[in-house]
Amino acid sequence: MKIILKKEVANLGEAGEVVEVKSGYALNYLIPQGFAVMGTKSALKQHEETLRQRAHKEAKLVADAEALAAKIAAVPVKIVVKVAESGKLYGSVTAAQVADVLAAAGYEIEKRHISLPEIKETGEFEGSVKVYKAVAATIKVKVEAENAPAAEEPAAE
């Protein structure tokens, strides 16, 4: 019996797939539990139309995401941090700092969508920003040292 899955079912398939199962499994478990609907001719035809519309929307979303990724990749990401005399950073550069720089440039990106290598010194580094599912922008992060304050004079005794 053909059914259309409404939800993901372990060892059977993802939501939206048309699968062939035994009629008892479909009628006694999958359909009553709301995991699937019967695969009648009209239901299959409607499902195909829905898939076609989703594919069209998905293509538009991917195209928009690729355009946004190109814009984000062009944004210069410059972060100024405090540096020890040895050239090492106090701490490290985080995705939140990069997200703040991108937000200042007009791109609201969640920090969890930004992936960076471990940055603990000054220089240029490459990271990526996930824009949409499989679309990611490569960003260049330039880390510079903050101008060191003048050396403090020893306290007079």
pLDDT band, very low/low/confident/very high, at 149 (cuts 50, 70, 90): low
Q: pLDDT tens across 48-87, in order?
A: 999 999 999 999 999 999 999 999 999 999 999 999 888 7
Residue 97 has pLDDT above 90, yes or no: yes
CA distance linking residue 141 with residue 123, whole number of Å: 8
β partners of residue 4: 18, 37
Between 39 and 154, where is the model more confident?
39
Contact partners, residue 49, CB within 8 Å, separation at least 6: none
Amino acid at 33: Q
Spatial separation of the C-alpha atoms in residues 134 and 130, rounded to whole Å: 8
| pLDDT band of 91, cuts 50, 70, 90 | confident
The model's confidence at residue 150, banded by pLDDT at 50, 70 and 90, is very low
Which domain range does residue 27 map to? 2-61
Whole-prediction pTM: 0.69
Domain membership flag for residue 111: yes
- 133 and 93 together in one domain: yes
Report if residue 41 sits inside a domain: yes
**Is there a domain that residue 130 lies in?**
yes
* Domain membership flag for residue 151: no
Give the tokens for residue 133: 């599912």
Backbone angles phi, psi at 80, to 5 degrees: -105, 125
> Which residue is listed with tokens 């992936």?
115
131 in a structural domain: yes
Structure confidence at residue 53 (pLDDT): 94
Say which range, 12-21, 32-41, 120-129, 143-152, has the weakest mean pLDDT: 143-152
Flag whether 38 is in a domain: yes
35 and 6 in a common domain = yes
| 82 shares its domain with 53 | no
Beta partners for residue 139, in sequence order: 127
Number of separate domains in the chain: 2
Which of these three, 61, 76, 96, is where a domain ends?
Answer: 61
Q: Let me know whether 44 and 79 are in one domain.
A: no
Looking up residue 85, the CATH number of its domain turns out to be 3.10.430.100
Residue 156 has pLDDT above 60, yes or no: no
What percent of the chain has pLDDT above 90?
78
Mean pLDDT of the chain: 90
Is residue 77 located within the same domain as residue 139? yes
Burial code of 106-129, b = ≥16 C-beta within 10 A, e = fewer? ebebeeeebebeebebbeebebbb
Task: Note the pLDDT of residue 88.
Answer: 87
- Domain harbouring 54, CATH code: 3.40.5.10
Residue 151 has pLDDT above 80, yes or no: no
Phi, psi of 14 (to 5 degrees): -90, 165
